[in-house]
Structure 1
Amino acid sequence: MGLDLYQMLWLGTGLLVAGGVTGILAGLFGVGGGTVIVPILYELFRYMAVPEEVRMPLCVGTSLAIIIPTSIRSYRSHLARGVVDTSLLRVWAIPVVIGVILGSIIARYAPEEVFKSVFVAVAGVSAIRLLFGKDSWRFGDDVPGKTATGIVGLVIGVLSSLMGIGGGQLSNLFMTFYNRPIHQAVATSSGLGVLISIPGALGYIYAGWPRAAEFPDVAALQPPMALGYVSLLGLLLFIPTSIIAAPFGVKLAHSLSKRKLEVAFGLFLLFICLRFLASFFV
Structure 2
Amino acid sequence: MSLETVLILISIGIAAGILSGLFGVGGGIIIVPSLLGVYAFTHFNSPYIVHIAIATSLFTIIFTSLSSAHKHFGHGNVEWKAALYIGLSSAVTVFLFSKIAILLPGEILKQTFSVVLIIVALKMLFDKKGKHEDPAEKKPEVFKPWLCLVIGALSGAIAAFSGLGGGVFVIPLMHYLMKVPFKKAVGTSSAAILITAAAGVISYFINSPAGANSIPYSFGMVDTLSAVPIIAASIPFARVGVYINRKTHHYLLTKLFAVFIIIVSLKLIFF
TM range (shorter): 0.7 to 0.9
Taking structure 1 as reference, are residues 87 and 14 closer, same or farther at Cα in structure 2, changes over 3 Å only?
Answer: same
Change in CA separation of 1:278 and 1:155 when aligned onto 2, cut-off 3 Å: closer
TM value normalised by structure 1: 0.82
Superposed displacement of residue 32, structure 1: 1.5
Would you say 1:155 and 2:149 are equivalent positions?
no
1:198 aligns with 2:198: yes
Distance in 2 (alpha carbons) for counterparts of 1:33 and 1:90: 20
Counterpart pick for 2:125 among 100, 124, 131: 131
Return the TM-score normalized by structure 2: 0.85
Contact 1:57–1:112 at 8 Å: present in 2 too? no
For the residue of structure 1 that corresponds to 2:207, the secondary structure is: helix
Task: Report the equivalent of 2:96.
Answer: 102
AA at the equivalent of 2:241 = G
Secondary structure (helix, strand or coil) at the match of 2:26 reads: coil
Aligned residue in 2 for 1:20? 14
After TM superposition, which residue ranges in structure 1, 4 or more long, deviate above 6 angstroms? none
Q: Which residue of 2 aligns with 1:216?
A: none
Q: SS in structure 2 opposite 1:240?
A: helix
Q: Work out whether 1:55 is the aligned partner of 2:54.
A: no
Please give the secondary structure, in 1, of the residue aligned with 2:95: helix
* Residue 268 (str. 1) matches residue 267 (str. 2): no
SS in 1 for 2:60: helix
What's the counterpart of residue 173 of structure 2? Answer: 174
8 Å CA contact 2:95–2:203 kept in 1: the answer is: yes
Residues of 2 paired with 1:256 and 1:30: CA distance? 14
Counterparts of residues 1-282 of structure 1 (less than 5 Å): 8-50=2-44, 53-111=47-105, 113=107, 117=111, 120-121=114-115, 123-133=117-127, 135=129, 142-143=141-142, 145-178=144-177, 179-212=179-212, 221-279=213-271
Q: Deviations over 1:160-209 (max 9, x none)?
A: 22221222111102112223221111011010111111111121223334
- Can you give the 5+ residue segments of structure 2 that lack an aligned partner in the other structure? 131-135
From the superposition, tell whether residues 43 and 133 of structure 1 become closer, same or farther in structure 2 (CA, over 3 Å).
Answer: farther
Contact 1:96 1:157 in 2 (8 A): yes
Q: Once structures 1 and 2 are overlaid, which stretch shifts more, 90-99 or 10-19?
A: 90-99
- Post-superposition offset of 1:79: 0.7
Shift of 1:33: 1.3
CA distance in 1: counterparts of 2:39 and 2:113, whole angstroms: 18
Distance in 2 between the 1:122 and 1:22 partners?
23
Identity %: 28
Unaligned runs of 5+ in 1: 213-220
Deviation at 1:51, TM superposition (A): 5.0
What is the rounded CA distance, in whole Å, between the counterparts of 1:113 and 1:231 in structure 2? 23
Tell me how far 1:242 sits from its aligned partner. Answer: 0.5
Q: Name the SS of the counterpart of 2:247 in structure 1.
A: coil
Change (3 A) 1:222 1:51: closer
Q: What displacement does 1:141 show?
A: 7.5
Q: Distance in 2 between matches of 1:170 and 1:276?
A: 14
State the distance in 2 between where 1:132 and 1:191 align. Answer: 28
Amino acid at match of 2:24: G
Q: Is the 8 A contact 2:21 2:68 kept in 1?
A: yes
The number of aligned residues is 264
**Distance in 2, Cα, partners of 1:228 & 1:91:** 27
